[in-house]
Each structure stands twice: as C-alpha cells, then as structure tokens.
Structure 1
C-alpha cells in the first residue's frame, strides 16, 4: 500500500508518519511506500523497511503533486495548510495554500483516474461561525468568520463534489482544537491553548490572551492521529454522500484547563500564566463553536478523550 502525506514535516504529519510506520499496515495491507511532501524535507524515523520518498516542495507551484500522484497512492493525507492567524493576516497566501493547492490536488487525482484513492483532508472547527445553536451537528450550516475557516469550508464542498462524481474517495475530518502540542507557539490563533499548559510544565512563563470563561472544543494529538488512521479504514458507503463531519472532542473552558494544570503540577505552575488580553485572538477563537453532537463520528467508530485531565496526563507521560 502506498500512502502519501502533505504537510508531512508538521506536528501532525510527523506523528502520523510514526504511527503508520509502527503499525506497518493499513486496511489489512502492508504499507510498502510513503511519499512525504512539505516545504522542507520531512524527517523519517530510521529502521523501517518501508520505502520512503521525502520531498521538499512548494505545493502552490505548478506540478507540485505530479510525482506523488503519478505513483498512484492508495491513501492521501492532506494536512498541509496555512493556519488561522496567518491566513487571516495574508489572504493571498491562505488562498494559495489552503484552497488553490487543494483544488490542484483534486484535479491531479481526476486527471489520473484515482477515483478509488481515499483522500483525507484535515478541516477545522473554524469552518463554523456566526449565529449558531447552542449545540451543533455535522449538518449545521457553515458560516465561518475568518479566512482560514472560509478556505477550509470551500475545500470541504470541493471534496464532496469530487467524491459525488467518483473522481476521488474523499473524507473531511473537522478537527477540534488540538491540545497539547509540543514545541513552541505557532501562528494558529489557538496556539495559546497548548502554550498555557506546556510552558508552565516546562518551568516557563506563558501568556493567556483570552478570558478564562472562554470555552474550547478540544482533542488530544493522540486521538487526532488515531482518527486520521481510522479515517483510511472506514467504508465510503457508510460515510454517505456528505463526506465532512466533526471529530468527537470534549468541551472545556480555559478556567477548567488551568484547574487541571493546578491539580497535576501545582499552584506554582499556574502562577507562570500571565493574562494579557488580545482582541484579535479573542475575535477569532471566540467565533468558534464549542458544543457538538458528533453522532456520525461516533457511529463510524471514532473515539474521544475522556476528559482534559487525561489529555494533560498523556502529555506529561510523553514528555518523560
């Protein structure tokens, strides 16, 4: 089985690659090749017998996907994206990476008759927005309030249409806010949600730019990677004609996150959080919904975290 990953050098891409290499198979077939694309060459764990082709590519360039698609992958994970705050700051860049490159990828599949290739795109809770019911479901109308969410929503519709036509076997997983990410803060508006946990645990200060009563719909990195792998396994007919749905996260307030940090690491860790309001971040994150019925994901076998304390403890275990 040949699996391709865009955004392979990123946080999720790297975790997904390790998971695929560890399990060695997908859909009951041995993984024989991984093709990895990103702006920089993706790192690959040593010791695997899988053929790995890692390429540094600008996915907005003409023909960027040609080599990958000519090798006819069975599964494509499309994770490459310009994240929320960056897409808001630079409309042209966000459109080029998030929308135009996705359309080019779909067209490449169409031109090569890759109708049986499972294309899994990571979308976002940011695709929702505006006046919303208290609890949403997968068919709640999309009315994003930022450019990133708008770009993701447009891609969702394209993947639905290409799948309806049998040009690709698409699946769109709307990701909750992923916490706790390792590394350093990035340009995502939600980056603070990891930072206010990660930095205090590392003995460093962190800035919380939002009110503590703000709620988030979150999912751990481990559960997100499990969902990506499971997304290649689920039957397209079971998914149905509408190929996009929300993954099962949990709703938690910033205050509850900080309380969990206090329980796990003590008051000293909490004292490292500085509260400095940022209206731009508040406007973006505050437009995202926080409560969902995720019946489709539940029926299809996708799993959620039990609670935020579990997410925090899993991060602690990984650190050690």
Structure 2
C-alpha cells in the first residue's frame, strides 16, 4: 500500500506517520511506501522496510502535487492547511492553501483515474457558525463565520461532489479543537486551549484570551490519529452520498479546563494562567459550536475521549 500525506511536517502529520509505521498496515494491507509532503522537507521517520519519499513542494503551485500523485497512491491524507487566525488575517493565502490546493488535489486524482483512492481530508468545527441549535448534527447547515471555516466548507462540498461522480473515494472528518497539542502555541485561534493546560503543567506561564464561560468541543491528539486511520478503513458504501461528519469530541468550558488543571497540578499551576481578553480571538472561537450529537461517526466505528481528565492524564503520561 502507498500512502500520501500532505502537511506531513505538522504535528498531526508526524504523529500519523509514527502511528502508521508502528501499525505496519492499513485496512489489512501492508504499508510499503509513504510519500510525505510539506513546504519544507518533512523529517525522516524511523522505519524498517517501508520506503519513504519526502517532498518539499508548494502544493498551491500549478502541478505542485504531480510528484506525489504520479505513482497512484491507495490512500491520501490531506492535512495541509493554513490555520484559523492566519487564514482570517491573509485571505489570499488561506484560499490558495485551504481551497485551491484541495481542488488541485481532486483534479489530480481525476486526471490520473484514481477513482479507488481513498482521500481523507481533515476539516474543522469552524465550518459551522451563525444562528445554531443548542445541539448540532452532521446535517446542520454550514454557515461559517470566518474565512478558514468557509474554505473548509467549500472543500467539503467539492469532495462530496467528486465522490458522487465516482472520481475519488473521499471522506471528510470534521475535527473538534485538539487538546493538548504538543510543542508551542501556533497561529490557530484555538491555540490557547492547549497552552492554558500545557504551559502550566510544564511550569510556564500562559495567556487565556477568552471568557472562562466559553464552551468548546475538544478531542485529544491520540483519538484524532485513531480517527484518521479508521477514516481510511471505512468502506465508501458505508458512508453514503454525504461524506462529511463530525468526530466524537467532548464539550468542556474554559473554567472546567482550569479546574482540571487545579485538580492535577494545584493552585500554583492555575496561577500561571493570565487572563488577557483578546477580542479578535474571542470573535473567532465564540462562533464555533460546542455541542454535537455524533451518532453517525460512532455508528461508523469512530471513538472519542472519555473525559477531559483522561486527556490531561494522557498528556502527563506522554501518550498525547
């Protein structure tokens, strides 16, 4: 089996590569070749017997994906993206990476007759917005309130249509906010949700830019990686005509995050979190819904975290 991963140098990409190599197979087939794609050459993973091709290329350039698609991959994980706050700041960049490159990827598959290739795209809770019901489901109308969400929503529609036409076997996983991300804060508007836990647990200060009443729909990195792998294993027939759905996250408030931090690390850790309201960040994340029924994902075999404490404990144990 040959697997292509765009955005392979990102934290999800690297964790996905590590997990795939550890498993050694996907959907009952031995993994023989990984093609890792990013703007800079992705790091070389530790591997034994799996061919790894690392490509440093701009997927927004005409023909930028040709080298990755030439061998006709069996599975494509499309993780490359300009994250929320960055896409809001730079509309042109967000459109090129989040939408135009997705269309180019689909066209590349079409041109090469890759109708059997399973394309797994990571979408986002940011695709929702506007006036919403208290609890959402997969068929709730998409009304994104920021450019990142709009770009993801447009890509979802394209993947649905190309799949309907039999040009690719697409599936779109709408990711909750991922916590606790490793590393340092990034340009994502939701980055604070990891940093207000990660930094205090590491003995460092963090900034909370939103109200503690804010509720978020979250999922651990470990469960997201499991979902990405499972997403390539679900038969296309089981997905039906609508290929996008929300993964099973959990709903937590910022106050609950801080209380969990207190429970595991004490008042001293909570005191490391400074509250500095940021209207721009608040405007973006407050438009994201926080409560979903994820019956469809669970029926397809996707599984979420048990609790916020479970996520924090996994981070502390080095599993996230």
Quote the residue 1:173 is aligned against.
173
Is 2:48 the partner of 1:42? no
Quote the residue 1:129 is aligned against.
129
Counting only pairs closer than 5 Å after superposition, residues 223-238 of structure 1 correspond to structure 2 as 223-238=223-238
After superposition, the C-alpha distances for 1:259-315 in whole angstroms (9 at most, x for unaligned) are: 011111111110000000000000000000000011110100000100000000000
Q: 1:43, CA displacement in angstroms?
A: 1.2
- CA distance in 2: counterparts of 1:294 and 1:182, whole angstroms: 26
Quote the residue 1:150 is aligned against.
150
Is 2:68 the partner of 1:68? yes
Quote the residue 1:99 is aligned against.
99
- CA distance in 1: counterparts of 2:48 and 2:178, whole angstroms: 28
Counting only pairs closer than 5 Å after superposition, residues 256-275 of structure 1 correspond to structure 2 as 256-275=256-275
Q: SS in structure 1 opposite 2:120?
A: strand
Quote the residue 2:276 is aligned against.
276
- CA distance in 2: counterparts of 1:319 and 1:54, whole angstroms: 26
Q: 1:319, CA displacement in angstroms?
A: 7.4
What is the aligned length?
Answer: 320
Is 2:17 the partner of 1:17? yes
Is 2:141 the partner of 1:138? no
List runs of 5+ in structure 1 lacking aligned partners: none
Q: 1:62, CA displacement in angstroms?
A: 1.2
Quote the residue 1:187 is aligned against.
187
Quote the residue 1:297 is aligned against.
297
- CA distance in 2: counterparts of 1:74 and 1:208, whole angstroms: 42
Quote the residue 1:33 is aligned against.
33
Q: 1:44, CA displacement in angstroms?
A: 2.5
Normalising by structure 2, report the TM-score: 0.99
After superposition, the C-alpha distances for 1:18-71 in whole angstroms (9 at most, x for unaligned) are: 000000000101000000100111113224210000111111111111011111
- CA distance in 2: counterparts of 1:29 and 1:288, whole angstroms: 38
Quote the residue 2:86 is aligned against.
86
Q: SS in structure 2 opposite 1:174?
A: strand
- CA distance in 2: counterparts of 1:86 and 1:145, whole angstroms: 15
- CA distance in 1: counterparts of 2:17 and 2:277, whole angstroms: 37
Q: SS in structure 1 opposite 2:232?
A: helix
- CA distance in 1: counterparts of 2:59 and 2:68, whole angstroms: 11
Normalising by structure 1, report the TM-score: 0.99
Instruction: Mark the CA change 1:241 to 1:319 in structure 2 (over 3 Å): closer, same or farther.
Output: closer
- CA distance in 2: counterparts of 1:127 and 1:247, whole angstroms: 13
Quote the residue 1:217 is aligned against.
217
Quote the residue 2:250 is aligned against.
250
Q: SS in structure 2 opposite 1:252?
A: strand
After superposition, the C-alpha distances for 1:81-139 in whole angstroms (9 at most, x for unaligned) are: 00000000000000000000000000000000100000000000000000000000000
- CA distance in 2: counterparts of 1:275 and 1:246, whole angstroms: 30
